[in-house]
Structures are given as C-alpha cells and as structure tokens.
C-alpha cells in the first residue's frame, strides 16, 4: 500500500530518484555496519583449488539489487567451474582504513560479496575514483587477494568505473562484460565514455549482449564474444502453473510487466493502451522512477505494486495473460537484449514488445509480437488475448515458447563465456634458460615454469653450455616429455651467457621473449604479469621482476631463509604493489622479458662479454639508445639464488673476468656507473605514475 502511495506522489522523477537514493543510503548504513562486524577484513572461506581459476566480479549493481545478469552469471560460473566467486559491490563501506567486508552468498558454491572500504563514497555511475580513493581501494583489494590466496583468476568488469582497480592484477585474465550501452543512461559521467574505450582496448575479452553492442565494441576490442542474456528457466517455469498466482483469479484478463519503470519505459504508450482496454487489468511490477504512478493515476484498472523480490516474480508472472515490454526506441534500448523476454517465454506467456533489434529474430520465429505504435500494440495485444480461445493452439504456442527458453539458460551462457576464454589467442612467450652444471637448480627452474604457466602459451628453450654434470642427460629426458613446447640445445663448448642466450633466441617463436637464469623459481602468473606492463606502457623495451637476490634496485627485502618462506612473503609484497613498476637504468638478466619486435630491432647480445658480466648493462644501453625505457615490475616476483653458475669459478678468476669486461663496456659507453639498491618505496610510486 505504501509503495502504491509513493508511486502516485505528484513529484517529478528526478525528485523521486533522489528520495530513493536517500532511502537506500539510510537502509544500507545499519546493514553495512552490521555486516562488517559480522565478518572482518580477513577472508575465512575455503582455499583456492589447485588448477582452478577464481572469478572476481567488479559489479555494476549490489548483489541484492534485482537478481539479474551479474548475479546469474556469477552463480553459473561457480557451479560449473568449481572456482570461488568474489563479487565486488559498488556499495562501498564508509571506512577510513584499508580493508573490506565479506558476505557469504552461497557457502556451497563459494560465492562471496565483497564491500571495499572507502573514505569517500563515490557514485560509480557518475564519478571516477580520484588518486586517494583508488589507492585505498587497491590496497583493500590487495588484502583480499592475499587473504584469500588468489593465484589464478578471471576479473569480470561490469562497469568502466572499476578499470584502474581491475587491471592492476596483471596476472589475471581481464573480461569486460558489456551488457548495456552505458552512454545511453542519463547518469553516466562523460569520463566513463572515454574510460570504456580504454577498458575495451585493455580487456583480453569483451562479451556483449546484443548485435548493436558487438558492432560498437569490435573496432575497439581485442576479442569479442556474444554472450546474450538468458533466464533461470527452472525458476520462471513455475509461472506456468496457475496455483502459483500472486493475485486471486479475476474474470478480466491481465496485461502485465515487471522490471524497472525508468526513463526508457514508454508511459505515453501504456497510458494510451490502458484507455483502449478498459476491461483489462494492467499490472506494472517494479521500482517506479519514471513517475508512472502519477501519470497513470487516472486509470483505476492500472496497478503498480512496486518492487517485488526475485523469489516472488514467478507468482506475479503467473497472473499475466499477456506480457508487455513497452520500451521507447532510444540508443539505450536499441542496444538492449531484454532479460525479461527470456523469463516471460520460460512461462510460455504471449509477449508483445516494442520493435527492438534484439527481439526481431524471436518475432521471426513467432515467439513474440512486435509493434512500434499504439495501433500496432493494440492489434498485437488483442491477438494475444484471443489466443486462449483455442485451448489446443494455446498449449502448442506455450510449449514452443517454453522449449525455446529452455535452451536460453544462464548455464548455457556461462559455458559460452568459458569457451570464448579457452579460444583466446593469448600472446605466446619463449623462455631461454642458459645452464651450466647445477642440474638440480635447472630442474627446479624448469619445474616451476611448467607449474606456473597459467594458460600462457609457453615455449621453453634450455641451452646447456657444455656442462660437466648430468645436465645434458637431464635436458634430453625433459625435452622428450613434451617436444612440442620444449627444446634442449646441447653445446659442445661453453659459449658464455650471451652466446647461450643468442643460441636459444635463434629458436624462439614467441611474441614475447624471456631470458631466465637456471637458478630461479618463477611464481604463479609471472609471464602474463610481466606482459601486461608492455601492453600498457608502449615505451617499455625490457622489464624484470622484483627478486630476493640481485645487485640493483630490483632487490626487495623479504623475510625468510629458504624459497618457501621467501615466496610466501613475496606474494604479499607483489599483491600490495599491484599494477606498479619502476624505471631502472639497468636490469640484471636473471629474468627479463622483451617483445620480439624489440629483440629484432636491437639484435642479439654482444658475445664479447664472455663468459659473463656487463652483457646485460651493454644491452640496456643499446635499448636506451633506441629510445626504450627499462623497468622493474613491482607486482611480479621471481626467486633467485644469485651467481650459482659464476660461483663455480674461483674468486680471482671472477674478478679478472669482471675487470676485463668492464673495460670493454667502458670502451663502448664511457664510465660505468655501479649498480645500486633502491633507496625507498617512494621511487616505485613515482615511477608508476
């Protein structure tokens, strides 16, 4: 009753929207506070399953605001993949500290809603986060990533507001769920339109819901897949049973609608139709922000019961004799693939709708009737109402609609999304590992590469520089296990580090090339994480990760003595520095990545720096001379023993090699500047801006 009175208030739509925002804010306050107290910022759910990706949704709506595409897709993916789902609500918690709150949505399916702390609460549809807000949100999300142990993930972004936050986790796949024409909403900030184009360009995959959105997105996106809306068929099929009706049976038929009654809802059309059908009840279920209550108040046979819970929708749908989609034809609706049409058809109901592009194929199959004006709607509604006169034909028509809807499920859409991800043409990476004795370390390095590929097409080339231990035999066995992706090159003589790298690069086929020492351990997501920085920073020519052991700024202080303890500490470090990188004068070649085009331009390493020392300094000078920047990724860590190969040489011999190669370097480039460790974390932040 109160809802109906509210909808009939003689207030402009803008005033009603403001009142609703205040109501929701008031309601969210106590609920959010209690929610936060119930679960602190420590994730207490199940651990990640080995080999299974988690899903992180950057939501366009709160989980509890109208159960539709965002929630349905998240639940379907959780059911099908067994991965955990973390759904970030746009309703941020007003907290000055870094953190988040967790709400368990479905414990069995491991679905959780996450509310990040924010000192200021931006409206995500109208604003973009400023620098301070973004830093707090990033830190809160990094806490979640660390607490939940997220190693492999797919980030599904559903609004451009989240771009800067989502793309910070470079080792995750990035999907843009382009479900609406955002520019068509009156509350979309102009900055979001430019940001959306950036989101399209940076996402690994863009999924769209309509032909309109596909045509718009394809010129800007890397890859596009059609994942239309759908229905929870089992839920809405209940509406085919008369006993589920929300209203008592009446002699007069009901033309019904449910969903948002907003700016795109054609009030003038419904007003005219209600006048032409005085003997028909009109039931419009949904939140009214368009002033429908006032505009239609003079029709006694029009009822607006207000917003109805998702669980109750089938009971209302059961009362409808004809289902309506009375939208205006605007850029927003012309891009829309209405969820409700699938739900209406799940119940076998006749549907009369505005002539929208996404509904034309259904009309061609006789599943819906389309119209563009009052007369057309009147004819279609009268035909739909007359359908019940022939029980057999009505039953056949209902069965055809339900059979169609049964194929249009969210489970089917989730499978389509997974297939599109599986088919993504991800850039390939070739890794060259130069080995000299120390087979145990080499084997450990190769095993880490296999374990941490995370779906990246990886070619590994191991070059043995005339080792005297079992390295050659071990590499032969290793190559035989997967000759398509592995190649062992056994040198009869030691070519030195630069020579070994060049020998390996001659066989490299990847889009990105990596030089990796054999005394390293790579970590989950390392290859994709490094590659992301090149995609976002065109001036980058070469990039290394942070590490525990190296003689320059790439070294970070981490607790722990052995690999296991250091790697655990490194995980917290890289998550806290998601998306960050710093400029370097020189990157040590314990682990570096560069695009193939850069290697082709700069050329092979200078083999005169034999057997090692200064070959990496030299290559960095060549890169800089060509105009490229050199960097260190703060969000990727690779464990390093340091000088495992050179430690086999005596101290005197090492010093002789060092001095000789320094003279060669200075002949080419002038006075050598010794490497230095980083002074402070401020260097990282300044370099990342």
Structure confidence by residue, pLDDT tens digits, 545-594: 999 999 999 999 999 888 999 999 999 999 999 999 999 999 999 999 99
Quick one: what percent of the chain has pLDDT higher than 70?
A: 90
Return the pLDDT at 189. Answer: 66
Query: Is this structure's pTM higher than 0.85?
Result: yes
* Dist. CA 370–CA 358, nearest whole Å: 11
Q: Which residue has the tokens 């990476």?
A: 429
Query: How do the domains of the chain map onto residue ranges?
Result: 40-226, 233-388, 429-688
Superfamily name and number for 233-388: Glycogen Phosphorylase B; (3.40.50.2000)
Mean pLDDT across 630-657: 81
Characterize 602-640 residue by residue with b for buried, 16 or more Cβ atoms within 10 angstroms of its Cβ, and e for exposed: beebbbbbbbbbbbbbbbbbbbbeeebbbbbbbbbbbbb
Q: pLDDT tens, 241-257?
A: 777 777 777 789 999 99
For 33-59, write each residue's pLDDT tens digit.
Answer: 334 334 556 788 899 999 899 999 999
10 Å Cβ neighbour count for 149? 13
15-19, 169-173, 468-472: lowest mean pLDDT where? 15-19
Residues in the chain: 689
pLDDT at residue 476 in the model: 97
Cis before 102? omega within 30: no
**DSSP state letter for 231:** B
Is the pLDDT assigned to residue 687 strictly greater than 90?
A: no
Q: What are phi and psi of 576, to 5 degrees?
A: -70, -15
Q: What is the pLDDT of residue 129?
A: 87
Distance, CA of 315 to CA of 258 (rounded, Å): 12
Reduce the secondary structure of 566-599 to three states and give it as a string: HHHHHHHHHHHCCCCEEECCCCCCCEEEEEHHHH
What does DSSP say about strands 205-208 and 173-178: parallel, antiparallel, or unpaired?
parallel
CATH homologous superfamily for the domain 429-688: Spore Coat Polysaccharide Biosynthesis Protein SpsA; Chain A (3.90.550.10)
pLDDT tens by residue, 616-631: 999 999 999 999 999 9
HSE-up of residue 472 (Cα within 13 Å, Cβ side): 10
Mean pLDDT of 415-420: 98
Which has the closest alpha carbon to 105: 80, 136, 84? 84
Least-confidence region, from 5-9, 89-93, 362-366: 5-9
Q: Do the domains spanning 233-388 and 429-688 agree at the CATH topology level? A: no
Instruction: Answer yes or no: CATH 3.40.50.2000 is held by domain 40-226.
Output: yes
Q: β-strand 639-640 against 520-521: which pairing, if any?
A: antiparallel
Q: Residue range 71-82: average pLDDT? A: 97
Angle (CA) 595 596 598, round 5°: 70
The values of phi and psi at residue 674, to 5°, are -55, 150
Beta bridge partners of 371: 354
Alpha helices in 323-466 (DSSP H): 331-334, 339-346, 360-364, 374-386, 391-406, 410-422, 439-451
Query: Average pLDDT in the 114-142 region?
Result: 89
Q: What 3-state DSSP class applies to 207?
A: strand
Are 523 and 638 spatial neighbours (Cβ–Cβ below 8 Å)? Answer: yes
Q: CB of 373 within 8 A of CB of 268?
A: no
Phi, psi for residue 172 in degrees, rounded to 5: -95, 150
User: Would you call 147 exposed, middle or buried from its count of C-beta atoms within 10 A (0-12, 13-18, 19+)?
Assistant: middle
């Amino acid at each position: 009753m109160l809802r109906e009175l509210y909808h009939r208030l003689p207030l402009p739509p803008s005033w009603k929207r403001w009142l609703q925002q205040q109501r929701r804010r008031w309601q969210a306050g106590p609920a959010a506070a209690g929610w936060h107290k119930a679960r602190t910022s420590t994730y207490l759910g199940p651990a990640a399953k080995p080999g299974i990706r988690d899903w992180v949704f950057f939501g366009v709506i709160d989980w509890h605001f109208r159960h539709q595409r965002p929630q349905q897709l998240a639940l379907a993916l959780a059911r099908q993949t067994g991965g955990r789902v973390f759904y970030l609500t746009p309703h941020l918690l007003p907290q000055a500290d870094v953190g988040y709150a967790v709400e368990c949505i479905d414990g069995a399916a491991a679905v959780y809603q996450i509310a990040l702390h924010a000192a200021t609460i931006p409206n995500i549809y109208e604003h973009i986060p400023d620098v301070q807000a973004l830093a707090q949100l990033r830190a809160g999300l990094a806490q979640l990533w660390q607490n939940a142990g997220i190693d492999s993930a797919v980030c599904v972004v559903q609004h451009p507001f989240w771009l800067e936050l989502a793309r910070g986790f470079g080792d995750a796949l990035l999907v843009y769920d382009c479900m609406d024409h955002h520019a068509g909403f009156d509350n979309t900030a102009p900055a979001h339109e430019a940001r959306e184009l950036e989101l399209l360009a940076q996402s690994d995959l863009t999924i769209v819901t309509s032909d309109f959105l596909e045509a718009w997105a394809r010129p800007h996106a890397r890859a596009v897949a059609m994942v239309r809306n759908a229905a929870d068929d089992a839920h809405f099929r209940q509406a085919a049973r008369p006993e589920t009706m929300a209203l008592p049976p009446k002699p007069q038929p009901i033309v019904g609608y449910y969903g948002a009654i907003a700016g795109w809802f054609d009030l003038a059309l419904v007003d005219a139709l209600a006048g032409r059908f005085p003997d028909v009840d009109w039931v419009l279920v949904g939140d009214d922000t368009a002033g429908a209550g006032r505009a239609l108040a003079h029709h006694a046979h029009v009822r607006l019961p207000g917003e109805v819970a998702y669980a109750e929708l089938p009971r209302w749908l059961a009362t409808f004799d004809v289902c309506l989609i009375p939208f205006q034809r605007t850029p927003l609706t012309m891009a829309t693939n209405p969820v409700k049409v699938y739900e209406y058809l799940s119940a076998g109901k006749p549907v009369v709708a505005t002539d929208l592009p996404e509904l034309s194929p259904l009309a061609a199959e006789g599943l819906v009737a389309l119209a563009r004006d009052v007369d057309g709607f009147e004819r279609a509604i009268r035909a739909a109402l007359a359908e019940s006169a022939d029980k057999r034909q009505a039953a056949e028509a209902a069965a055809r609609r339900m059979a169609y809807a049964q194929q249009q499920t969210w489970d089917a859409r989730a499978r389509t999304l997974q297939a599109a991800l599986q088919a993504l043409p991800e850039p390939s990476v070739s890794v060259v590992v130069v080995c000299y004795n120390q087979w145990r370390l080499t084997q450990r390095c190769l095993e880490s590469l296999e374990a941490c590929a995370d779906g990246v097409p990886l070619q590994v080339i191991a070059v043995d520089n005339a080792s005297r231990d079992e390295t050659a035999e071990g590499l032969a066995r290793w190559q035989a296990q997967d000759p398509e992706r592995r190649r062992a090159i056994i040198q009869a003589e030691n070519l030195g580090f630069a020579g070994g790298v060049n020998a390996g690069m001659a066989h490299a086929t990847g889009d990105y090339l990596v030089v990796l020492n054999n005394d390293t351990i790579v970590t989950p997501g390392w290859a994709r994480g490094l590659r992301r920085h090149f995609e976002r920073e065109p001036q980058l020519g070469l990039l290394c990760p942070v590490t525990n052991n190296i003689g320059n700024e790439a070294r970070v202080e981490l607790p722990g003595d052995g690999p296991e303890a250091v790697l655990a500490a490194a995980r917290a470090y890289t998550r806290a520095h998601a998306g960050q990188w710093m400029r370097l004068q020189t990157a040590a070649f314990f682990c570096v990545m560069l695009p193939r085009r850069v290697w082709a331009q700069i050329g092979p390493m200078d083999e005169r720096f034999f057997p090692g020392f200064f070959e990496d300094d030299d290559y960095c000078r060549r890169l800089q001379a060509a105009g490229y920047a050199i960097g260190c990724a703060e969000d990727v860590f690779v464990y390093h023993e340091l000088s495992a190969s050179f430690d086999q040489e005596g101290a005197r011999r090492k010093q002789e090699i060092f001095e000789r190669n320094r003279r060669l370097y200075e002949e080419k480039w002038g006075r050598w500047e010794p490497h230095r460790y980083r002074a402070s974390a401020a260097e990282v932040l300044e370099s990342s801006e």
